[in-house]
Amino acid sequence: MTEESRPHFMRSAPLVQALMASGDNLTGSYAMLYAVGRGSYGFIQGLITSIQQLGAAILQPVWGAASDKIGRRLFMVVGFLVQSMMWGYFLPRAQNAVEVLLVLTVQTLLGTMVLPVWNAWLGDYTDISDRGRVFGKFGMVASWIALTIFSLVSLYIQEVDPTRSDVNSFSIAFRVAGLFYLSAAVLVLFIPQAVRFRGRKSVSYKTMVAGFLVNRQMGFRERFRNGVRTMNGDFKRFLLIDGLFRISWSMAWPIFPYATLSATDSWVELIILQVVIGLSIGVSQLIGGRFADRYGRKSIILWTRIFLVLPPALTALGVLQKNSVYLIVANLVVGLTLGATGIAINSLILDTAPKGKESTYFSIYIFVMGIVGFSSSILMGGVLNVLSGDSIPSDTIVSLLLIIAAGVRLVAWTSYFFLKETKPSGAVVVEKEPAQ
C-alpha cells in the first residue's frame, strides 16, 4: 500500500467512481430497451447481450496484465474516452439492431478496460483489513450520486417523450453518460499511482502502444499465461463455483428487457425501478463491505446469492399480471444482494492475488465470467428465436423462461457451500484517519 499518497487518492477516487457509476447507470438502464426499439428481437437480442459479456471479457487479460506492468492511468483514460465516444456519439446515431450491435461490440472490447484496472487501483491503496469497508463506502456514495443523476435525466426525458413512444428519447441518457465518462478521463490524470509505477516516465506512450500492438516488448501475453499457470487454488475454486452460478444467472438477461416493457407503461415506473435498485445497492455495499471484513467473504457471497433466485420468479408474476410492483420488489432484492456480493467478490479476488498481479486476477475473473455469460445468453437468444421468431415474445413465453431460469439458479447456488474463505480469522477492521 502507498501511504504517502493515500490521502490524495482517497479524496479523488470517490468522484471518479461516482462519474463512472453515473454513466454506467444511464447506459445500463436504457441500452437494451433502446436495442429492442431498434428492432432487436429473438436471436439478435441474445447476441447483443452475449457480445456485451464476451466483448467485455475477451481483452481483459491484456488490459489487466498491461496495467500491472506499466501502471493504471493510461488504461483508465483510454477506456473512459472510448466509452464517451461510443455511448455519447455513435450509439445515438445507430438506426437498426445491427448498428447497435456494432457500436456495443466496440464499446465492450475497448471501453471496459477500466473494469479490472480500477479495481486493481483501489487494491493498491487498501489492505486486507479495510478493503471491504473502503470498497463499500466508495460504492455507496457512487451509487447514490448515480441514482440522483439517473432520476433527473429520466424526468427530463419524460418531459420530452411522455408517452415513451420515441426510441430516440433514450439517446438523451447516452449523451449525458458520454459527458460523465469524458469527465472521468480528465480526472484520473490527476490521481496518484502506486509507488511501483512511478519513475517509468522514460518509457514513452508511443513505445507502450508499439509494445502492446506487437505483444512482445511488454510481454503481456506471457505475463497473462504466467498468471493463469500460477493461480492459487482458492482463486481457481472460486472461478469454478462463481462460473457455474453465472451460467444460470445470465440465462435471464436477454429476457428481462421484454419483461420490463411488458410490465411497465411509463417513464415514472422505469425511474422507480432504478431508484429502488440504486438505493438498495448503496446500502448493501456499505453494510456488505463491513460484514465482509468482519465475518468473511464466503458468508456474504453465500447468503446473498441465494436471494438472486427470487427476481426471475417475481418478474414472471409481474409480466403475467401486468403489474410493475413485482418488478419493484425484484429490483429491491437484486440491489440488496448485488451490492454486498460485489464488494465481497472484489475483496476475495484481491485477497487471493499475489502482489503485482491484482489487475491480472481481476482480468482472469472477468474473462471467465464473460465467456460463460456469453454462452448462456446466446443459448437463451436461440431459444427465444425458436419460440417467437423475429418478433417480441409473448408474455407466456417470457414468464415460462424466467421461471426456468429461477430454478436453475437455485441448483447452481448450492455450489457456494464449497467456496473457501480467504480472509484470515485474525484480520480485523482497522479504521484509518485521513491525514490532516
Map residue 394 onto helix, strand or coil.
Answer: coil
| Contacts of residue 68, Cβ cutoff 8 Å, sequence gap at least 6 | 120, 223, 356, 357, 358, 359, 360
Phi, psi of 264 (to 5 degrees): -120, 155
Alpha helices in 296-309 (DSSP H): 297-305
Cα distance between residue 114 and residue 116, in whole Å: 6
Given its phi and psi angles, is residue 259 left (phi above 0), alpha (psi -120 to 50 degrees) or beta?
alpha
Q: Cell 446515431 appears where?
A: 93
Cα distance between residue 52 and residue 247, in whole Å: 15
Cα distance between residue 100 and residue 434, in whole Å: 45
Nearest of 123, 82, 124, 89 to residue 105 by alpha carbon:
82
Question: What is the pLDDT at residue 404?
Answer: 95
* Cβ count within 10 A of residue 300: 28
The type of residue at 268 is: V
Cell of 102: 456494432
Cα distance between residue 235 and residue 387, in whole Å: 39
Q: Cell 489487466 appears where?
A: 64
Burial grade of 213 (CB within 10 A; 0-12, 13-18, 19 or more):
exposed
Cell of 121: 487501483
Report the helix count and the strand count for the chain, using DSSP H and E. Answer: 18, 0
Question: What is the pLDDT at residue 11?
Answer: 81
Question: What is the pLDDT at residue 175?
Answer: 96
Question: What is the pLDDT at residue 3?
Answer: 56
Nearest of 68, 115, 133, 139 to residue 353 by alpha carbon:
68
Which domains does the chain carry?
Answer: 7-196+205-418 (1.20.1250.20)
The type of residue at 334 is: V
pLDDT tens by residue, the chain, 436 residues: 455 677 777 888 889 999 999 999 999 889 988 988 888 776 777 788 777 777 667 777 777 777 877 788 889 999 999 999 999 999 999 999 889 989 998 998 888 888 878 888 888 887 766 677 777 778 888 888 998 999 999 999 988 988 777 888 999 999 999 999 999 999 999 888 765 555 444 344 444 444 444 444 445 456 556 656 667 888 999 999 999 999 998 988 889 988 998 999 888 898 899 889 888 887 887 787 778 888 888 989 999 999 999 999 999 999 999 999 999 999 999 989 988 898 899 889 988 888 778 777 887 888 888 888 888 888 888 888 888 877 778 899 999 999 999 999 999 999 999 998 887 655 444 444 333 3
The type of residue at 333 is: V
Given a contact cutoff of 8 angstroms between Cβ atoms, the answer to whether 392 and 254 are in contact is no
